Structure 1
């Protein structure tokens, strides 16, 4: 059961208190900034985690300005599309509303509040009203933001982006190689570790640490490694299986 810490009270709450009840997740991004990208990404992770648990989700974007830039950046980063307008959600009987806000942003008066820390853009990834592709590919930027706890600041610099790019390339090569072996079920303890991590306040860095362990664990068949990475990627959205079939 997914539990998140409500920034309003500091207490852990169930992200979906009613079984199968609709949860609305609303991303508050006043303008196109690196911190707003983290808000959008956190919203996407929450939506994915809820869907993996069988909860119907309605995601919305509350932006003060630069709607087009924010939506374009979300698409580039592999973030699920947002619905338009509060009126569409009216009368749907939401069981829960979760607001995702950036550090220093206004706190909505109702619902659960999930807060993310600031992001500093040292290399100009966010420039000229959009994502600058000169510095990194979008999945590496996504991974860079995922590697740090949501409530800790992130600095986008060349070193962090390059490291994320190397990790992503290594994992994609490994997944493509493992896919050539017979499929094997994900071990129950590994599946349990993954779910325990993301259901504990969306602890994505711990999910990544589990994958690092799976990559080198000597007692796991390659088919099980493949299935584990494919399963975790339903949350991470890193296209880890993108290079299947590319190996000779």
Structure 2
């Protein structure tokens, strides 16, 4: 069961108090900068985690002044569209079991459970294009969301290298006989993201699976494909594209 630390109280709270009850996820983004993208990305991963658990989700975007630029950058990062805000109070609306709000640490926490994200910055002069967008997604996900970060060209190059390596490995594993995800591995993945949406720990599980001497290649493939439902890194993208890297 997914538990999130509420920024208002500092206490862990069950994200879905009503089993499979409709949950509204609001992303409060003030500007389409690195911090705003980090907030929206955190909300995107939160939505993915809820949906994997069978929770229906309604996504809403609030606060931003330049939505066209934000939406364009969000699409490049693989963030699914959020609806524009509508009139409504801070509490759950008709048919809603829970409201989860994701906002930057510098914002005043609003009503409802508040998921806080630390500021982020990208070094001036770092070019972000369609080819590097998924690398930026990985670089942002690899750091705890409560830790401030500043990304430079070297960080993005490292993330791009990691993505290329994983995609090549997944493409290779896909040619082997399929195998189920080992129960301990599945439990570790779920325990990681259900513990306050700890995405760096999820990435750590993937690294262990890659070097494990006991997990067959087919099971490695299934593990990475399953985890990518949360991560959104297109880890299966290179399947069938020729000899894996």
TM-score by length of 2: 0.94
Please give the secondary structure, in 1, of the residue aligned with 2:65: coil
CA deviations on 1:193-246 (whole Å, 9 max, x unpaired) are: 000000000000000000001111011110000000000000000000000001
In structure 2, the partner of 1:203 is 198
Please give the secondary structure, in 2, of the residue aligned with 1:58: strand
Distance of 1:71 and 1:96 partners within structure 2 = 25
Please give the secondary structure, in 1, of the residue aligned with 2:195: coil
CA contact (8 A) 2:32 2:64 kept: no
**Quick one: which of 144, 149, 158 aligns to 1:149?**
144
In structure 2, the partner of 1:98 is 100
- The question of 1:169 aligning with 2:164 is answered yes
Structure 1 moving runs of 4+ over 4 Å = 87-91
Greater alpha carbon shift after TM alignment, 34-43 vs 58-67: 58-67
Q: CA deviation at 1:107?
A: 1.5
Residue-pair matches, total:
241
Distance of 1:74 and 1:63 partners within structure 2 = 15
Please give the secondary structure, in 2, of the residue aligned with 1:39: helix
Please give the secondary structure, in 2, of the residue aligned with 1:175: helix
In structure 2, the partner of 1:230 is 225
Q: CA deviation at 1:80?
A: 1.1
Distance of 1:57 and 1:20 partners within structure 2 = 9
Please give the secondary structure, in 1, of the residue aligned with 2:96: coil
Distance of 2:138 and 2:123 partners within structure 1 = 17
Unaligned runs of 5+ in 1: 126-130
In structure 2, the partner of 1:212 is 207
In structure 1, the partner of 2:59 is 59
Residue 182 to residue 92, structure 1, CA distance change in 2 (3 Å)? farther
Q: CA deviation at 1:154?
A: 1.4
In structure 2, the partner of 1:18 is 18
Q: CA deviation at 1:87?
A: 4.6
Distance of 1:101 and 1:210 partners within structure 2 = 27
Distance of 1:227 and 1:132 partners within structure 2 = 31
Distance of 1:106 and 1:13 partners within structure 2 = 19
In structure 1, the partner of 2:32 is 32
Distance of 1:88 and 1:162 partners within structure 2 = 43
Distance of 1:217 and 1:120 partners within structure 2 = 35
Residue 215 to residue 107, structure 1, CA distance change in 2 (3 Å)? same
Q: CA deviation at 1:124?
A: 4.2
CA contact (8 A) 1:61 1:84 kept: yes
RMSD between aligned residues? 1.7
